[in-house]
Amino acid sequence: QVQLVESGGGLVQAGGSLRLSCVVSGSIFRINAMGWYRRAPGKQRELVARITIAGRTNYTDSVKDRFTISRDNAKNAVYLQMNSLRPEDTAVYYCNAESPIVYWGQGTQVTVSS
């Protein structure tokens, strides 16, 4: 059974940093890309950052120059370094893995206080 296990969320003051981790347990034949999404209260889920197996990245505009996504292909892991956090970054953050099937983690709460 495939599981994506996230960690690293928590409560931080504005301007602070957090690092999210997501590790895939179980076997996925081929992961083409991994990413981080978030859902803020009352809003739809949105893409935060995505990285392909070749290392190409894309970010939503609001996190560019503040967040960095990276991955370890050997460990089937993806990370999100979040710096200069803002209250509007408060959300549940989900990682996903794209193969022919899309897998999702359970989510980790990030709360940024002003």
Residue 86, pLDDT score: 98
**CA dist., res. 45 & res. 96, Å (int):** 12
Average pLDDT over residues 22-28: 88
> Residue 47's beta-bridge partner residues?
37
Classified as helix, coil or strand, 75 is helix
Nearest to 20 by CA among 68, 63, 65: 68
Residue 74, pLDDT score: 87
Residue 95, pLDDT score: 97
- DSSP states along 33-74: EEEEEEE-TTS--EEEEEEETT--EEE-GGGTTTEEEEEEGG
26-83 pLDDT, tens per residue? 887 788 999 999 999 999 999 999 999 899 999 999 999 999 999 998 888 999 999 9
Residue 30, pLDDT score: 85
85-112 pLDDT, tens per residue? 999 999 999 999 998 899 999 999 999 9
Phi and psi torsions of 101, nearest 5°: -110, 145
